[in-house]
Structure 1
Amino acid sequence: MRSVRARAATGATLVVAVALIAAGAAVLLSLRANLIDQTELQAEVVAREVAAQIAVDVPFDRLDLPDDEERPVQVVGEDGRVVAVSEKLEAISGTSSDQVTPRSPGPAPSGDDNDGDGDGDDDDPGRGEVSSDDPLFRSGSATVDGESADYRFAAIEATSGAARTYTVHAGAPMATEQDAVGTVRDAMLVGLPLLLAVVGGVTWLVTRRALRPVEGIRSEMAAITRSEDLSRRVPEPASRDEVARLARTTNETLAALEASVERQRRFVADASHELRSPIASLRTQLEVGAAHPELLDVPGAVEDTVRLQQLAADLLLLARLDAGERPGANRVDPAVLLREEVAQRAGDRIPVEVTAADGLEVAGSRNQLARLVGNLLDNAQRHAATSVTASVRAEAGRIVLAVADDGSGVPEQERERIFERFVRLDDARSRDEGGAGLGLAIARDVARRHGGTLTVARSASGGALFELTLPQAPPEGS
């Protein structure tokens, strides 16, 4: 069953079937027990009535036995003789004797001659009694006037005035119980399949209606895949259930994918544009040098080659970051890293003043973090008027590396835009003096890959303040 609707309908039907079978069995057992209790009560009442007559020494041939053919009675003496049976009783089973022909009781046991005349009779008999114990119930059958049926027999002991003990077996028919249980069972056997069919059908229809929006989402996604048009969106149901949330999440994913593809397209277009300029310049210089060797600008060609190399390295790094390259788990000291980067700029136009706390470590890629710090220092030196300051400090379990300059700063409305790729706020600046607009984009991507953040604000001197926040590495061995 590959269909969700079929699995849901089958599962619901099976669950309901198990529940109904269990409930039906419990109902049948309870009904049967109640009816048997009523039958036993009827049999006990008849047995006690007959036992009460025996207790007052009513002769057996004068016992008032039920004339109801559905209430067979058998009286058995303690010697096993049947002394009385109800009229028209032809056969019986389930009692202490299967005899249905009454016989006179035997002589009284020795010691039972209460009048002392030795005749075995009690001329002045006392009053007998009926056992107060709960009767013994047995299932059996009896044939009355040619009709056989199942009965529930109650056995009551009675003691006559002559101290003789008799057992009265009185039966009540089981036909009522059997008919009632059979009727209920038959009704269940007929109704259960119908109810299960209704449950399965309703579940199928409800599931089909519930999954209809899912089919709409699937068909629209298939159309988007065929057309490669990421601007399309799947239909969102008006409900607030899981399907509606699935549709909204799918549309959010499509929007993010569309934005990612658009960024990729812009990236490719901008990269092509940025690469075209140094390549064209380098080609021009080489063509002029080939025609007129004395006019070859070697320093300019070298500068264009270096710029082209740096741009290619930046593009490759961004490609690796976009591909999800993990930074690794090396332990890096930001203070040492900062001092090494500053030492390489000893002869630069703007010096860098460093204030860094030692002994702090972060986990990540040393090369990527070095590129991040270098890009921040390059940006600060490019825009500073007279000074650049850099510091490393610990703050609430995290490490903050700050780079500030005294330049013109970054307008507040542009503080997020400068981290986009190929964005340069100073459009009048020549490309030779500035970068390609990838340094800060690379810096923020590296920061995010290391679980940190990179933000820009206004420095105390009025320029730009870039703050890199990274999680501090736990102590070694922890």
Structure 2
Amino acid sequence: MGTVRARATAGATAVVAVALIAVGIAVLVVLRGNLSDQADLHAEVTAREVASEIATGTAYKDLDLPDADEHPVLVDDEQGRVLAADEDLQVVDGWKVTRGAPPGTGRHGDDEDDDREPPRPGEVDDEVESSDGTAVVDGERADYRWAEVDATDTQGRTVTVMAGTPLAAEEKTIGSVRNAMLVGLPLLLLVVAGVTWLVTRRALRPVEGIRSEMAAITASTDLSRRVPEPASRDEIARLARTTNETLAALEASVERQRRFIADASHELRSPIASLRTQLEVAEAHPELLDLPGAVEDTVRLQHLAADLLLLARLDAGERPKDTRVDLGALAREELSQRIADRLPVRAGELPSVEVAGSRGQLGRILGNLVDNAQRHARTQVTVDVRRNGGWAVLRVDDDGPGVAEADRERIFERFVRLDDARSRDEGGAGLGLAIARDIAERHGGTLSVSEGAAFELRLPVAPDSRD
């Protein structure tokens, strides 16, 4: 029972078995009831036929009694004397049939206490009593279904006509049906189990293909492989597609990680090599030490390490602090500290608009955007804040050449520089815009570039923020 196929087969077989047993019992009960009703009807018809003869004045010795093997008939009076019976009928319900016995020794005897009002002379009672019993006919004992009908002859004598229908045919029919069920039920369960086993095997075959391919991918660490997708449109096909989508996302993530490591190693190699060269020269010729250059390389190395650490924290899923930040006040504070920049930064409209997030990370976005704008601007950079419905919009613009439309998404990739001829000192490591977009997305916002050199940061306004 350790496999889905085995459990499905066992479950389906058990359910069908319970259903078939319940249906079989119901069929036997209904069949027995119908046969019993038919036996009652036959016994009643026989009893009324004989009673009708008695009511019309036929002598008891001249009654047309049916064959006792098919329908034994017994006629007795209120004192229990047997007035008519087939010669082969010997015992009825344990009472020996004795024709012409003295009063009180018959089937009713002195214990008869029937309070029913007898029918009038020449009539047959409308009521009939049915019961199960036995009889011995020609030496053979059998079960019968009895019907008793009262009648009054033309002389005013009330008698009881008792007619029986043998139950042997009923028991034989029920036995045949029961035996057929006992033979057919196991065979039907075997068919159900076999069909379920084959159907589940075919249905789960794609799952086994997915499992084996995933095992092969795990063993080979080749994330470019994909699991087979069945042509059907069922849950297994959706599972295969979702698995392939997961593998594609994992492959892309691993590829980004590899590229990130390679680019980071390349970016770190340059300042470290430059710093090492300067230190080696200074060791041999102290008078040639370029101290400002060494400090600059150290600062660049420090900034790059800080950027890489921040990206690592963002990739690890670090959530920003959920504090209220006034975006206009943040912009005014950040711009007030940039008095020594190469180009002036003009503050446009900076109204008070509150957002939820980390003040430090949002300040990092603004700083990176202004740094990028100053790197490409001709004369000045402009920063403004506005509210647009449920969004706070921070816009950083410059009068530089702008970004070509084809490159407006690529510039947000890590370690991307559009101008390869620029030196790293002027162009940076290509991480500023990537970090800014990552922070924006983790704050539930967006960062995009439009209209040439205009960068727009859109963040949702903090809940319950006043207009």
Common fold: TM-score over 0.5: yes
Letter in 2 for 1:13: T
Aligned to 1:323: 316
- Structure 2 residue matching 1:432: 3-state secondary structure: helix
Residue 258 of structure 1 pairs with residue 251 of structure 2: yes
What is the rounded CA distance, in whole Å, between the counterparts of 2:246 and 2:319 in structure 1?
23
Counterparts of 1:32-111 in structure 2 under 5 Å?
32-93=32-93, 98-103=95-100
What is the rounded CA distance, in whole Å, between the counterparts of 1:90 and 1:457 in structure 2?
115
Change over 3 Å in CA distance of 1:45–1:373 after alignment to 2 = same
What is the rounded CA distance, in whole Å, between the counterparts of 2:204 and 2:120 in structure 1?
87
Counterparts of 1:279-294 in structure 2 under 5 Å?
279-294=272-287
Deviation by residue 1:320-350 (Cα, 9 ceiling, x = unmatched):
1111222232232322222222222233223
Letter in 2 for 1:4: V
Change over 3 Å in CA distance of 1:92–1:386 after alignment to 2 = farther
395, 417, 421: which one pairs with 1:424?
Answer: 417
Residue 304 of structure 1 pairs with residue 297 of structure 2: yes
How far residue 295 of structure 1 moved from its aligned partner, in angstroms, is 2.8
Residue 351 of structure 1 pairs with residue 311 of structure 2: no
What is the rounded CA distance, in whole Å, between the counterparts of 1:337 and 1:78 in structure 2?
118
Aligned to 1:473: 462
What is the rounded CA distance, in whole Å, between the counterparts of 2:321 and 2:59 in structure 1?
110
- Structure 1 residue matching 2:429: 3-state secondary structure: coil
Letter in 1 for 2:455: F
Length, aligned pairs only: 450
Deviation by residue 1:340-398 (Cα, 9 ceiling, x = unmatched):
22222233223132423324222x33322222222122222222223323333333423
What is the rounded CA distance, in whole Å, between the counterparts of 2:261 and 2:42 in structure 1?
98
Residue 6 of structure 1 pairs with residue 9 of structure 2: no
How far residue 79 of structure 1 moved from its aligned partner, in angstroms, is 4.3
Aligned to 1:130: 124
Change over 3 Å in CA distance of 1:372–1:359 after alignment to 2 = closer
What is the rounded CA distance, in whole Å, between the counterparts of 2:92 and 2:384 in structure 1?
110
Change over 3 Å in CA distance of 1:161–1:331 after alignment to 2 = farther
Maintained 8 Å contact 2:89/2:137:
yes
Counterparts of 1:229-248 in structure 2 under 5 Å?
229-248=222-241
Letter in 1 for 2:147: A
Change over 3 Å in CA distance of 1:182–1:345 after alignment to 2 = same
What is the rounded CA distance, in whole Å, between the counterparts of 1:388 and 1:75 in structure 2?
126
Letter in 2 for 1:469: R
Letter in 2 for 1:475: D
After superposing the two structures, state which structure 1 stretch, 411-420 or 373-382, moved more: 373-382
Maintained 8 Å contact 2:320/2:358:
yes
Change over 3 Å in CA distance of 1:87–1:329 after alignment to 2 = farther
Aligned to 2:433: 440
Change over 3 Å in CA distance of 1:307–1:40 after alignment to 2 = same
Maintained 8 Å contact 2:122/2:153:
yes
How far residue 192 of structure 1 moved from its aligned partner, in angstroms, is 0.9
- Structure 2 residue matching 1:229: 3-state secondary structure: coil
Residue 153 of structure 1 pairs with residue 146 of structure 2: yes
What is the rounded CA distance, in whole Å, between the counterparts of 1:311 and 1:76 in structure 2?
121
Aligned to 2:354: 360
Aligned to 1:120: none
What is the rounded CA distance, in whole Å, between the counterparts of 1:292 and 1:63 in structure 2?
151
State the superposition RMSD in angstroms.
2.3
Change over 3 Å in CA distance of 1:333–1:74 after alignment to 2 = farther
What is the rounded CA distance, in whole Å, between the counterparts of 1:455 and 1:77 in structure 2?
113
Residue 203 of structure 1 pairs with residue 203 of structure 2: no
Maintained 8 Å contact 2:353/2:461:
no
How far residue 315 of structure 1 moved from its aligned partner, in angstroms, is 0.5
How far residue 203 of structure 1 moved from its aligned partner, in angstroms, is 1.4
**Structure 1 gap ranges (5+):** 108-124
Counterparts of 1:323-402 in structure 2 under 5 Å?
323-348=316-341, 349-362=343-356, 364-402=357-395
Maintained 8 Å contact 2:80/2:103:
no
Maintained 8 Å contact 1:77/1:105:
no
How far residue 191 of structure 1 moved from its aligned partner, in angstroms, is 1.0
Change over 3 Å in CA distance of 1:341–1:164 after alignment to 2 = farther
What is the rounded CA distance, in whole Å, between the counterparts of 2:150 and 2:382 in structure 1?
114
Maintained 8 Å contact 2:345/2:383:
no
After superposing the two structures, state which structure 1 stretch, 213-222 or 58-67, moved more: 58-67
Aligned to 1:178: 171
What is the rounded CA distance, in whole Å, between the counterparts of 1:243 and 1:126 in structure 2?
82
Aligned to 2:27: 27
Maintained 8 Å contact 1:83/1:105:
no
How far residue 284 of structure 1 moved from its aligned partner, in angstroms, is 2.0
TM-score, length basis structure 2: 0.90
Change over 3 Å in CA distance of 1:100–1:390 after alignment to 2 = farther
What is the rounded CA distance, in whole Å, between the counterparts of 1:105 and 1:63 in structure 2?
21
What is the rounded CA distance, in whole Å, between the counterparts of 1:126 and 1:306 in structure 2?
131
Deviation by residue 1:423-458 (Cα, 9 ceiling, x = unmatched):
011112221112211111111111222222222211
Letter in 2 for 1:470: L
Letter in 2 for 1:84: A
- Structure 2 residue matching 1:468: 3-state secondary structure: strand
